[in-house]
Amino acid sequence: MFEREVVPDVESYRILMQGMCRKSQVNRAVDLLEDMLNKGFVPDSLSYTTLLNSLYRKKKLREAYKLLCRMKVKGCNPDIVHYNTVILGFCIQGRAMDAVKVLEDMPSNVCLPNSVSYRTLIGGLCDQGVFDEAKMLMEEMLAKGFSLHFSEVPHIDTWVTVVPTLCEDYEPERMEEILDEVLKVEIKRNTRIVEAGIGSVDHLIRKTRSKSKRLE
């Protein structure tokens, strides 16, 4: 391209990066981005999406987060898709607290978390046993109004995950609070949620009885 004195544009670079990423050559794609920036081009949102998705699939989350931080400096504001990709990647790798930092960075970049951001992070925190943080984020999620419309109600899997894990943490008061929230958002008729709640109560009773017998 350069030998023929054809000047590439943003789309040309993006197409090349997409091709490299499809061939699992993500490092070369990142180098191409650097070349693009050095020549004064401003990568578009889709170019960054391509690289972030590829870095996520390669489990290169440190590089993905650095790229996310550089976007605004280089003239492209990260959007919700970019942030959620990195949040999901950290959670899958068992680094939910790193994902919390990403979520906390979002408002400063004029990008607010959505229900997907919260659901992903709450699930990741519960998987790692960080129940206090999960509970706090769930309350924040509800306080921001995500439960006002059915399409934004916390996902069923979030409730099914949180209720049993709070039970495992031997905190029945918190479990009752969660069940109360389920009733508030009018999804109490969902069988999976009801079963999760009943199962958690039964499990807690068995645990308590077992512990009492050991102390006798």
214 assigned to some structural domain = yes
Tell me the residue range of the domain where 189 lies: 130-216
pLDDT at 171 over 80: no
3-state helix, strand, coil in the chain (%, to 5): 75, 0, 25
What is the number of domains present in the chain?
Answer: 1
Asked if residue 191 is part of any domain, the answer here is: yes
Q: Is residue 21 included in any domain, yes or no?
A: no
Note whether residue 139 is domain-resident.
Answer: yes
Taking only the tens place, the pLDDT of each residue in 63-108 is 999 999 888 888 888 999 999 999 999 999 999 999 999 999 999 8
Mean pLDDT of the residues in the chain: 76
* pLDDT tens-digit readout, 115-149: 889 888 988 888 888 888 887 887 788 788 765 33
The verdict on pTM exceeding 0.75 is no
Q: Is residue 155 part of a domain?
A: yes
- Separation between Cα atoms, residue 99 and residue 84, nearest integer Å: 9
Contact of 116 with 86, CB cutoff 8 Å = no
Does residue 183 lie within any of the structural domains? Answer: yes
Of 173 and 75, the one with more pLDDT: 75
Is 186 inside any structural domain?
yes
